[in-house]
Amino acid sequence: MAKKDINWSELGFSYMATNSFVRAQFKDGAWQKPELLTDPMVTIHVAATALHYGQAAFEGLKVFTKKDGTTAAFRPEENARRLNDSAERLLMETIPEDLFMEALELLVTENLDFVPPYGTGASLYVRPLLIGSGARVGVQPADEYDFYMLGMPVGPYYKNGFNPIEGWIQTEYDRAAPQGLGSVKAGGNYAAGLMGDKEGKKKGYPISLYLDSAEHKYIDEFGTSNFIGITADKKYVTPNSKSVLPSITNKSLMTLAEDLGLTVERRQIAVEELANFVEVGSCGTAAVITPVASIVYGDKKFSFGDPKVAGATLSALYKELQGIQYGDIDDRHDWMVTLA
């Protein structure tokens, strides 16, 4: 199929209308078959629980045109499972994994002309969304749910791509409460971080790092993604916290780190340990890995390697993961799912 006339290499990370998106509805105790919609404006009941009580969760995954010309998604079954973890925590109806995959295949095949070509560095970002659509005035779960899946071509999440940025530790606002919703991809988690992230950007920091909400002693995660620290003795260190979203990208990078001979440690990380890292990065679906050159904490500044060039270990991990996604490197862990 011929691709759309888009300047693929100049894409940022923003919404773009495509041919269609997918919706499946849960009504009368059962999921309906996924359907294609073209009008991006959807109708929802004014008393829907998504609007009043925050019954809303979403996912993010990417679809790539590989070197051999096929179109494949990166670990979509993990996104289906994580969305269901969110649904269970928010008392929403879970989505059968085969329905999730059916929706993904339908979305991609109907929008193949929007999947960026191989060699452009771009991908199709897919956003599954689950909301409570049933009407409730009392505080209780809905009896009806809408599952949407939309996609759009995207480039780098940050304008400078895979280059170091500066961060700071947000101490005025918390992202997630202990035993709260931090470990699921609920929409409210991101609303909770908006103010803190805005304050950071006002100060000139593109990314904010949050500490644990109970004691403010341990690293949790960045506002949009997981934390990675690399030590001089080749350890890959990432937080083990009940308030951190289990990142599929981080999970994959941990496997690749072991492949490359690093020792993986998933544990509590005291904020003072920032002084021990020679490389720091944030990782997630949107940006894959973003190297962090420095992090400001009060009157302290922790620096990690060259402020203008990503470190060797994060660069190797980034190259390895992107290589698998685009088909330049053997998919030895069977992560790519061919869709077209």
- Give me 104's structure tokens: 């993904």
Check whether residue 170 and residue 286 sit in a common domain.
Answer: yes
What is the C-alpha separation between 186 and 176, in angstroms, rounded? 11
What is the C-alpha separation between 300 and 61, in angstroms, rounded? 36
Last residue of a domain, one of 132, 154, 176: 154
C-beta separation of 249 from 185 below 8 A: no
Please report whether residue 330 resides in a domain.
no
Please report whether residue 159 resides in a domain.
no
Please report whether residue 160 resides in a domain.
no
What is the C-alpha separation between 244 and 72, in angstroms, rounded? 28
Cβ neighbours for 277, distance < 8 A, ≥ 6 positions apart: 229, 230, 231, 237, 302, 304
Three-point CA angle 316, 287, 226, nearest 5°? 85
C-beta separation of 325 from 122 below 8 A: no
The CATH number assigned to the domain holding 125 equals 3.30.470.10
Domain containing residue 150: 8-154
- Tens of pLDDT, residue by residue, the chain (340 residues): 789 999 998 999 999 999 999 999 999 999 999 999 999 999 999 999 999 999 999 999 999 999 999 999 999 999 999 999 999 999 999 999 999 999 999 999 999 999 999 999 999 999 999 999 999 999 999 999 999 999 999 998 877 778 999 999 999 999 888 889 999 999 998 999 899 999 999 999 999 999 999 999 999 999 989 999 999 999 999 999 999 999 999 999 999 999 999 999 999 999 999 999 999 999 999 889 999 999 999 999 999 999 999 999 999 999 999 999 999 999 999 999 999 9
Check whether residue 321 and residue 196 sit in a common domain.
Answer: yes
Check whether residue 182 and residue 320 sit in a common domain.
Answer: yes
**Total domains present in the chain:** 2
What is the C-alpha separation between 281 and 289, in angstroms, rounded? 6
Cβ neighbours for 152, distance < 8 A, ≥ 6 positions apart: 14, 15, 16, 17, 18, 114, 124, 125
At 92-116, the pLDDT tens digits run: 999 999 999 999 999 999 999 999 9
Please report whether residue 332 resides in a domain.
no
DSSP 268-309: --BGGGGGGEEEEEEEETTTEEEEEEEEEETTEEEE-S-SSS
pLDDT given for residue 123 in this prediction: 97
- Give me 228's structure tokens: 């990675």
Please report whether residue 109 resides in a domain.
yes
Check whether residue 140 and residue 108 sit in a common domain.
Answer: yes
The CATH number assigned to the domain holding 265 equals 3.20.10.10
